[in-house]
Amino acid sequence: MSLLASIPFVDPLNLHAQWFLLLVPLALFVSMAYKAVRLPTLAGYWRQVGIMSTQIVVGMAMLGLVLYMLTQWILPMVLPMPGT
């Protein structure tokens, strides 16, 4: 087997720098399956999927922002670490 060969579904992808973009397909597929089970009727299905996907992505981004502010700004102000 070649050293360069990479087998899809067996070897991992090298997306270490773009990992956060993988939230988008995750949110989309979760919304598709969940809304297919949950909606009383399938009228307006894609609109509901779009809304739920957006809610997940925006919610996670906001959560990330809050945690960033907490760990980078607020905690260092409240509890200054020695040497910083």
Partner 1 sequence: MTPGARQPEPAGLDPAAGLVAFLFPGAGHMMRGQTRRGVYIAIGVLGLFLGGLLIGGLTVVDRKSPRLETRLSFYGQMFVGPVAIGADFVHQARFKGWDAQSRTRREALPGETIRNGNIEVATEGQRPPMRRSLGKMNEIGVLYALVAGMINFIAILDALFPTLRRQERDRVTTSGAIDAVLSGGGAKA
C-alpha triplet 39, 43, 49: angle, nearest 5°: 60
Q: 55, 70, 68: which is closest to 23 by C-alpha?
A: 55
Q: Which are the contacts of 26, defined by CB distance < 8 A and separation ≥ 6?
A: 56
- Looking at beta carbons only, is 39 or 62 nearer to partner 1? 39
**Measured from the CB of residue 71, what is the shortest distance to partner 1 in angstroms?**
18
Footprint on this chain of partner 1 (rule: CB under 8 A): 1-3, 5-16, 19, 22, 25-26, 29-37, 40-43, 45
Q: Least distance in Å: CB of 20 to partner 1?
A: 9
Residue closer to partner 1 by CB (options 55, 76) is 55
Measured from the CB of residue 4, what is the shortest distance to partner 1 in angstroms?
9
Q: Are 19 and 10 in contact (CB under 8 A)?
A: no
Q: Which is nearer to partner 1, 45 or 68 (CB)?
A: 45
Going by C-alpha positions, the residue among 78, 23, 77 that lies closest to residue 53 is 23
